[in-house]
Structure 1
């Protein structure tokens, strides 16, 4: 069996990373995450281990240390070039050194270099970061520990080998040779209701009777083969809070770390009458990833749809849920992009039918993941008067030019809102969360066995509801104290969205020990006002999480400013470096460097380099048809092909084992490896990955064609009756009395027609039946069909039907339900 450890040499030496232990401390809406990585050099020569790994996009790395034997070395933050030079100098003189740096292209990817580890030596590396917890649509707070790092696709023409772009070593999920343990301590001003996870957990342990403190751990033996997600639920989550954190005792007063910092959390709850109101205006643009990886399954469990099929179903639901009078368009993208219509069209029965036909034909056939060009195209189109632009972005991709994409979205933020959806394990948090944050929208992640449709409809609900606008924040503090905002001002808040604002408090009051903040905003044209008090003399520091997140927020704003200046002025970059060094928070222009000044001898000869793998999505279950070279890092230098092919051999061999008809099962390891490497070399030079070429190199049997496209024999899928009913609804919201509707209701046409009240139109009767069926049999999926039902009710009311009660009663009798007219909204 081919060794799947993903090392860069063909000899398959052991991986030096042995385990990762994580401790999480949650305080309300923010968390501090401490990871310890254990390394061991089991080889005969000194080595350098390179581990490229993801962190949440909003994370701020704030501490980095290393322990060799009994000696601990704490890293310093330095300007990146200076840190890299110091690292190289230390290695050449035989000293152990550690370098942690952020990728030049994406702020959620870090590279850790553990250098000059002598034979037989052990080292442990500790990394701390602070992060805001994202709010989910059900009020849960999401903490994600990313494990899967998919190759970042480099757009054509970009220099993928420049700067800090680190090579990603990946192996199939399940083959990582190191394990993960995780424990969390949760503390909240409000009682903790429950903690959930996509991985097995030990029972939640409350530490006090008020249930405001608790601990929870991952069940033992977890393989770090997928993103680990914790969902925390508190009581009274919609109460606004203002938390003040004391200054760092050792820092200079007047500096960011030397002054108290306040964090304001705004998470308003919308009244029910506002929640039920729906706008009929808007330009809805659905931007859908059609790269080759969208053919991969949504999850590795049985019965999983592939991602593109799930996207097709979701688009059906969205198109049926749009209000009459709005405008829409659908844009598919990969290496190129295609629009359904030259420009946005008015929503009508004709345009909806035309779009649905194109959705049925939509495939994952557009190659790589180039998101910048379709966005530029969209922003070049003028906005429509009185039709606010709403952008829905669906992607499973990880792009190498994340910062460029975010800058483009920020530049155009005033013209639209963006709702983004990260599909599958390893989707880039920096990209998905970043575009939503820049464009005042909302981000969602669809992982494991999550269904895409409910999450997308939650975001549509935000898009169709009025937002909190005209937000003003007024600080009431003594005249000796000044308030400096660290965050951009809050411009808009949606239902289900939380906004955090950081501010520095400089100066000391001789008398008052309390300040307050007044937050005013407008919701559905109604003014709302909240006043919160906070202490000007808070307790001593509790880990400095609030300070560091405030510093991270300011650093991100300054980094964008520097990129907009395109290096013409040094001001923003210098401020970032100064702030990063002072706060100990990572940035694009700094790195953490630790050197163990032992009695090592100058290095003789070449230092062995080992790339520690991260999990990647298994090729098994993905159709190789049209598998784009983006997935195989088309723009990678061919000189690095041998390194990458070792990992791909692992995936190919697993694919072979799982495919019944390949004679390659019987082939020796070395033969398979050489054939696969030769094939990838040819394919990468040609810039594509063809099924025919794969069949030739893997010596498939004659019936391989079927196996490549579908790993298991499939019968004709049974259509979900809910999707059938949805597909039959007209754009206006009504249903027609027809055989297809009777089939969904499990009745004959005659059985459906006969009980219709005499004075009622057939279309009204069919629409009432559809509503009764939805409320009677599909309440568990109400999030998905609520807008369809609202459209149907509005349509019935517009018909001014006198005998609605009689219709509902007859519908209940026919379908065996007990749905009340009031429940339907009639």
Structure 2
């Protein structure tokens, strides 16, 4: 059999070259056969090209509903959506107003959401929105012009049935549900064309105190969460309601559609906001203040005695970043502790805030091992990755020579700078700096494997070391994940002797998740909203890492007191003790004694209860709701310690119903008795989109794994495949000609 060989020549350097005349004759022959070269290419490549294009069409089909309409087709204040059939719809619009009253450490907040139907059809609007993770939502009403329908707290399934019955009957109704402690959904049914419906919520939250400064945070939008796992069936209740989320359920996040609201394709601005927000705040701190500021918004501040009032300088702002209000007491007036009380239904409730005495950093510290974990997933794109790199870079500068350290970066996978922690030598720090400078955002947010790796590395300890190092994990991320409960369980199981400190990054981080992760990891949480905050924030964090915590804290409560949390946590430098208590029908006569240990020193202090029981009622309304909210939070945390789900529900449901609080098992529903929509009028359901977090790069929301570059990877891979097939066909023609 004659063998086919390549027609080759050898040049003067001894390297083979293609016999060009032979190739030319081959191409010419095929050109004669198919009349021209283009026909030859079509004949050889068209079938493969058609298969690739068909595959791309199928892969892209699910993305249709997240595509934006051309900017020129959208008027000011108007949003257009494209459905699965390519039909363009005008969406419902939403604007909000916040009225906040702060007394001492307790903030009572009224949130007003105004929904307007810009379409010519009767509509149902679905709006997912964030609230502070510790907020206790305790009131809801729906306003229709001058009419007010006060919402009722009901068991979640019962509330859904009431809402769905009203929806089908043509009655106006509203339903508010909790999806996560910091993520809620409002539904408004049977909104007439051109009509506005107002949903008003009231919630209570506590001001946070850290490093000598009080603050309250108002989240306004949601960073798209990554949904790990294999796409599967949604965990459905008996009553199914459309969610309009871009994500599909997975085996790890069954409720993914409910926590993945659509967002505006283009970023808004404070001048022309997609979702306008107005803010009015009254602050009565109860002490002289050195400063009051809002770091991310321009505000107008007025003062009358100790009462401060604040509103936005421009009157409104885009809901694309957290609103934060800070106030710092005059140094001589900084509180060592405070007691706030409230009487509800004949019973007293109390809130204790106490700052342990400060201790100077000791001359010598035990050996320390720091593991820096940095999120480089797609949701960190834009400003966030720059903040994360700057935070990590500043952390490296703060390491001591006797420290050991390692860096783990993660997205769809993770990689370590070193196989195991290394000494903080100048050479290793130089390697770490180079590693940090080349970090970029892409891929998914597979947090479970990297968390497991960071907390498990403590098993790799040198057996010759007599004193094992104090192990501290610093986790830098925006927290944009949907499998929070699985991550909490992993922390509880693997934390051991390590400590987990979380650093929230970006304009709209998942603060609830990161604060709870730090609680389970016996560490602390801090956040960075702008790059200018990096130096001060990371320096304060390292101060906490380097200063002994306050340990063995004990409070002499009355015998009848019910205190939450039941286990008093260790406290780091600049952090307060924060406990909520139910006292019974009378306030104690004796002062409250608090004691503990800081370093090698014992300390003790006392706090007086209000002298008159009447003093408890007016000033600090909301303490009872905060106590019930904290009890529910602590009970729900038991699920990570093998608590039976039904038993857990039976404990939480009565508390939520008695205190009128939203929870995983309760919802608010308001229904107007009169029928509004004519029987022959159709009803459509539409999402009310959120604003994109400020500074974040655009995300491909229509894909289940949100923070990925899946679309680009598909197109690039297909192009490379097409080129490879084309080259292979050309080579075969050359071989067999």
Q: TM-score, normalised by structure 1?
A: 0.68
Counterparts of 1:366-765 in structure 2, within 5 Å, are 367-382=443-458, 384=461, 385-413=467-495, 415-475=497-557, 477=558, 482-508=560-586, 514-535=589-610, 537-539=613-615, 540-542=617-619, 544-562=621-639, 564-565=641-642, 568-600=644-676, 603-604=679-680, 606-617=682-693, 622=697, 632=701, 634-635=703-704, 688=713
Tell me, in whole angstroms, the C-alpha distance in 2 between the residues paired with 1:158 and 1:458.
42
**Pair 1:47 & 2:123 matched:** yes
Tell whether 2:227 aligns with 1:141. Answer: no
- 8 A Cα contact 1:98 1:115, kept in partner: yes
In structure 2, the CA distance between the partners of 1:152 and 1:275, relative to structure 1 (3 Å rule), is: same
Tell me how far apart the structure 1 counterparts of residues 182 and 495 of structure 2 sit (CA, whole Å): 22
Superposed CA RMSD in Å reads 3.1
Gaps of 5+ in 2: 1-71, 233-247, 462-466, 721-737
For residue 488 of structure 1, report the CA deviation from its aligned partner.
Answer: 3.2
Q: In the aligned structure 2, how far is the partner of 1:439 from the partner of 1:584?
A: 31
Instruction: State the distance in 2 between where 1:17 and 1:358 align.
Output: 45
User: For 1:200 and 1:363, how far apart are their aligned partners in 2?
Assistant: 28
Equivalent residues of 2:294, 2:323 under 8 A apart: yes
Distance 1:632 1:121 in 2: 30
Equivalent residue number for residue 286 of structure 2: 189
Q: How does 1:221-260 map to 2 (within 5 A)?
A: 221-235=316-330, 236=332, 238-248=334-344, 251=345, 258-260=346-348
* Deviation larger for 431-440 or 404-413: 404-413
Contact 2:108–2:622 (CA<8 Å) still a contact in 1? Answer: yes
**Contact 2:92 / 2:125 at 8 angstroms: preserved in 1?**
yes
* Counterpart residue number, 1:364: 441
8 Å CA contact 1:295, 1:364 repeated in 2: yes
Gaps in structure 1 of 5+ consecutive residues: 252-257, 299-306, 625-629, 637-643, 649-679, 696-826
Assess if the C-alpha contact under 8 Å between 1:558 and 1:573 holds in 2: no
Q: Following TM superposition, by how much is the alpha carbon of 1:411 offset from its aligned partner in structure 2, in angstroms?
A: 4.1
Question: 1:436 Cα deviation (Å)?
Answer: 2.1
Separation of aligned partners in 2, 1:414 and 1:603: 62
Distance 1:420-1:515 versus aligned 2 partners, 3 A rule: same
| CA displacement at 1:407 relative to structure 2 | 3.3
- Contact 1:64–1:127 (CA under 8 A) maintained in structure 2: yes
CA contact (8 A) 2:226 2:482 kept: yes
* Aligned counterpart in structure 2 of residue 119 of structure 1, from 189, 193, 198: 193
- Alignment CA distance shift 1:602-1:89 (3 Å): farther
Cα 1:146–1:693 shift into 2, 3 Å: farther
1:557 Cα offset (Å): 1.1
Q: 1:494 to 1:694 in 2, by over 3 A?
A: farther
In the other structure, the counterpart of 1:801 is none
Match of residue 285 from structure 1:
371
Residue 592 of structure 1 and its aligned partner are, at CA, apart by 1.3
8 Å Cα contact 1:6-1:611 kept in structure 2: no
Whether 2:295 is the aligned partner of 1:198: answer yes
Query: Where is the strand percentage greater, Structure 1 or Structure 2?
Result: 2
Question: What is the deviation of 1:579?
Answer: 0.7
Cα pair distance change 1:337/1:631, threshold 3 Å: farther
In 2, Cα distance between the equivalents of 1:317 and 1:18? 40
Structure 1's 230 and 527: CA in aligned 2 closer, same or farther, altered over 3 A? same
Which of these residues, 94, 104, 110, is aligned with residue 184 of structure 2?
A: 110
**CA 1:360 to 1:544, structure 2 compared with 1: closer, same or farther past 3 Å?**
same
CA contact (8 A) 1:238 1:268 kept: no
> What are the Cα deviations for residues 505-544 of structure 1, in whole angstroms up to 9, with x where unaligned?
02447xxx63321111111211111111103724325563
Which residue in 2 is equivalent to 1:778?
A: none
Go from structure 1 to structure 2 and tell me whether the alpha carbon gap of 1:22 and 1:316 turns closer, same or farther (over 3 Å shift).
Answer: closer
Q: Shift of residue 181 of structure 1?
A: 1.2
DSSP 3-state at the match of 1:131 = strand
Secondary structure of the 2:544 match is helix
Q: How has the CA–CA distance of structure 1 residues 295 and 694 changed in structure 2, closer, same or farther, with 3 Å as cutoff?
A: farther
TM-score scaled to structure 2, two decimals?
0.76
Q: Which shifted more, 521-530 or 198-207?
A: 198-207
Partner SS, residue 609 of structure 2: strand
In structure 2, the residue matched to 1:32 is 108
Whether the 8 Å CA contact 2:502–2:525 is kept in 1: the answer is: yes
- CA 1:266–1:407: 2 relative to 1, 3 Å: farther
| Residue in 2 that maps onto 1:264 | 352
CA distance in 1, matches of 2:602, 2:577: 18
Any conservation in 2 of the 1:173–1:226 contact (CA below 8 Å)? no
**Alignment-derived partner of residue 262 in structure 2:** 169
| Alignment match, 1:766 | none
Rounded Cα–Cα distance in structure 1 between residues aligned with 2:446 and 2:111: 33
Structure 1's 296 and 351: CA in aligned 2 closer, same or farther, altered over 3 A? Answer: same
Secondary structure, counterpart of 2:591 in structure 1: strand
Q: Tell me the distance in 2 between the aligned counterparts of 1:611 and 1:528.
A: 55
Q: Is the 8 A contact 1:280 1:324 kept in 2?
A: no
Q: 1:634 touches 1:687 (CA, 8 Å); kept in 2?
A: no
2:50 aligns with: none
Larger Rg: 1 or 2? 2
Per the alignment, do residues 6 and 614 of structure 1 end up closer, same or farther by CA in structure 2, a change over 3 Å counting? farther
Q: Among 133, 148, 160, which residue is 1:84 paired with?
A: 160
Question: Is residue 312 of structure 2 the alignment partner of residue 218 of structure 1?
Answer: yes
Partner SS for 1:518: strand
Cα distance change, pair 579–278 in 1 and its aligned pair in 2 (3 A)? farther
Shift of 1:21: 1.3
Work out the CA distance in 2 between the residues paired with 1:486 and 1:319.
37
How much does 1:689 deviate?
6.4
3-state SS of the aligned residue for 1:570?
Answer: helix
> Number of residue pairs matched?
610
